[in-house]
A and B are shown apart, each in its own frame.
Chain A
Amino acid sequence: MLVLTRRHGESVRIGPDVRVTVVSSTSGQVRIAIDAPENIGILREEIFERVASANVEAAAQASLMVSEFGSAGARSANQSGGDTNE
Chain B
Amino acid sequence: MSEVIRFESRRVGTIEVGESDIVSFDPLPGFPNKTRFVVVAHAESSDFAWLVCLDDPDLAFVVASPWTFFPKYDPPVDRDHLAALSIEKKEEVEILNIVSLMGKEIFLNLSAPLLINASTRRGVQVVSDDPRYTTRASLPPLKEEGPKSQSTLVSEDSAKTEAAPAIAKTSSPAP
Contact = CB atoms under 8 A, between A and B. Distances in A.
Nearest to B3: A84
A71 B15 CA distance: 10
Nearest to B82: A38
Contacts of A70: 165-166
A84 B136 CA distance: 36
Contact of A74 (B13, B59, B101): B13
Contacts of A65: 62, 99, 101, 153-154, 166-167
Contacts of A48: 29, 127
Interface residues of B, number: 58
A51 B40 contact: no
How large, as a class, is the contact surface on chain A?
35 or more
B117 interface: no
Interface of A: 38-41, 43-44, 47-59, 61-66, 68-80, 83-86
Interface of B: 1-2, 4, 9, 11-18, 20-21, 28-31, 38-43, 50, 52, 59-62, 79-81, 83-84, 98-101, 109, 111-112, 118, 125, 127-129, 135-136, 152-155, 158, 165-168
Given A77-B52, A79-B39, 18 more contacts: A50-B135, A51-B125, A52-B30, A55-B31, A55-B61, A55-B98, A56-B30, A56-B31, A58-B61, A65-B154, A69-B167, A73-B166, A74-B42, A75-B40, A76-B4, A77-B18, A83-B18, A84-B21
